[in-house]
Chains A and B, each alone.
Chain A
């Protein structure tokens, strides 16, 4: 088991794709914390107009702990889901194309084993990428806070108390929000065998799901209830639970800021998302077990 995971890491480690994706994630974290967070605060700081300068304490939340952490995770969940989706699609489809999936199975690995190792290996690699981007984001927060001469604390006056344990929960909630999308990309690619299909599939899904949910939300009534079954609505609920308060929330995710009052209970959301994950896994394993594995066709 350990050996097989190591084999997975060996395959991913020397590809260039994960590093490109990591760069995109780091860039995103940098844009959110430095460009939108710190630069906006900094440009207002020297304003003569006292009216404008009264916004400064609010703008601090764009880069200072604890507020900036859930917001960064919000953006990370949104963009991270798609980036992880692309990485997973490529990780699976290339093994079909290289003929290495066939080779592994012809060496006595069972199909379930192959899929599971693939999933765990890719998940581990994705977790490393996402955590690296998070770490970069957090370091950026600490740096910008000290540049702004702002105290670095999880427990500033006037904000809800946040412990280190809370930080772990906040990270886990956002990470869990990536999982259904990762499994969706996994399912699409195992079934469709193509990187292009898996990547565009997951990106289109995120865009179309978000658009439909806004439309349903605007229509209200029964329409709005349909959203309860979507991944996005429930992920938003988890992200809303992450928020420190309802004040300034700066996230570069292309969607409305989550508000707990408009979203399902986080526990309900958690179970709906679990149902999505289980359903996607069942379909993926079922199809792969019944599938004839074709020849390697080239890179």
Chain B
């Protein structure tokens, strides 16, 4: 399916994967992935469970080695300049990544020591920024899931990297936390930081990203600006009908202006129309049918949102089963 997939327009590419492929034994987790992340944009990396998001991030960070293909970060080929490239990156990974016996502040101090210089003042600043100021001295062992997630974000942004890579960062955050997090992302982007954020929650990506890539079973389904994808899905708005005489109804409806298509689905008729016209269509449809003595037993406008669109192109959701079948 091609839905207005465009490569982000020119500009400075900070992350590029070229034919990136990863096989775990016989399982093909990632299959020739080509994505480009443009500087200063918030890039959503969307896909159901097991689609290969974490695998892609781990490959970009050099934690696992690709079966084929490679990754370029900040213009550097990570096969030869991994350490140098990653100095400009901050990342959170799936799973924990902290010293449980140290305080939040000491955790950040350890990272400050092994990486680029970060002052004590900057450490205080990020702790404040992620809302952990009152718990900065507590052992991370005793933190709640959301607090640990906040600490991970602090570790990712503390050295003011050019690009931040976040793997499902809102996992475990409460609604207030998610909102704060969204603000943080916006702030980072406003400050010129490129943000790459993976998620399996579409609405989240829709709300905070400029660009989005959709991944399924290790393959890129589409990549492009969010508006383009929202537009593509909006075009497919429809009205669901149940009538006393479907045959006649179909011929009546197909003759109407503004109707794109009429089809049967689960004993209902689905009338597709441009989204901005669906409300008007609903009224017009009921009148037109009534004039021919065809009676409606059900009429329901259905706004195809991005969520449905995502479900539609990625299938049922979790890739676990699909992934197993895909094994060569």
Which residues on A are within 8 Å of B, measured CB to CB?
Answer: 3-4, 6-7, 10-11, 14-15, 98-100, 102-110, 113, 117, 290, 292-293, 295-299
Question: Once the chains bind, are B111 and A103 in contact (CB under 8 Å)?
Answer: yes
Known: A108-B87, A109-B115, A110-B83. A102 touches B97 (CB 8 A): yes
**CB-CB nearest in chain B for A3:** B113
* B97 engages A296 (CB within 8 Å): yes
Contact between chains at B99 and A100 (CB < 8 Å):
yes
Question: Which chain A residue has the least Cβ–Cβ distance from B96?
Answer: A296
Residues on B with beta carbons closer than 8 Å to the beta carbon of A14: 101-102, 106
Given contacts A3-B113, A14-B101, contact A297 B95 (CB under 8 A): yes
Q: Are B63 and A292 in contact (CB under 8 A)?
A: yes
Task: Give the chain B neighbours of A117 by CB distance below 8 A.
Answer: 114
Does B71 reach chain A (CB closer than 8 Å)?
Answer: no
Further 8 A-B residue pairs, CB within 8 A, beyond A10-B113, A106-B61, A292-B64: A4-B113, A7-B109, A10-B106, A14-B101, A104-B111, A106-B91, A107-B114, A107-B115
Q: In angstroms, how far is the closest chain A Cβ from the Cβ of B194?
A: 16
Q: Which B53-97 residues have C-beta < 8 A from chain A?
A: 54, 58, 61-65, 82-87, 89-91, 93-97
Chain B nearest CB, measured from A234 CB (Å): 36
Is there a chain A Cβ closer than 8 Å to B231's Cβ?
A: no
What separation, in Å, do the CA atoms of A293 and B110 have in the docked complex?
A: 20
**How many B residues face the partner with a CB closer than 8 A?**
35
Residue among B89, B109, B155 making CB contact with A103, cutoff 8 Å: B155
CA distance A11 to B100 in the complex (A): 10
B97 lies within 8 A of A10 (CB): no
Shortest Cβ distance from residue B25 to the other chain A in the assembled complex, whole angstroms: 11
Q: Say yes or no: B102 contacts A11, CB within 8 Å.
A: yes
Known: A4-B113, A108-B87, A299-B141. A293 touches B96 (CB 8 A): no
- Min CB–CB distance A244 → chain B (angstroms): 44
- Complex CA–CA separation, A109 to B82 (angstroms): 9
The answer on a CB contact under 8 Å between B141 and A100 is no
Chain B positions within 8 Å of A11 at CB level: 99, 102, 110
By beta carbon, the residue of chain B nearest A17 is: B101
B98 within 8 A of A: yes
A151 to B13, CA, bound (A): 78
Nearest CB in chain B to that of A12: its residue: B101
Q: How far is the CA of A108 from the CA of B94 in the complex (A)?
A: 18
Query: Is there an interface contact between A99 and B95, defined as CB atoms closer than 8 Å?
Result: yes
Query: Is the beta-carbon distance between A106 and B93 smaller than 8 angstroms?
Result: yes
Nearest 9 CB-CB pairings of A with B = A295-B95, A108-B86, A7-B113, A99-B97, A106-B61, A292-B64, A103-B97, A296-B95, A296-B96
In the docked arrangement, what's the CA distance between A117 and B110, Å? 13
User: Which listed residue, A4, A7, A102, touches B63 by the CB 8 Å rule?
Assistant: A102
Given known pairs A10-B110, A295-B93, the reply for A99 and B63 (CB within 8 Å) is no
CA distance A103 to B61 in the complex (A): 9
Bound-state CA distance A103–B112 (Å) is 12
Chain B residues whose CB sits within 8 angstroms of the CB of A295 once the complex forms: 54, 93-95
* Most chain B CB inside 10 Å of its own CB: which residue of A7, A99, A106: A106
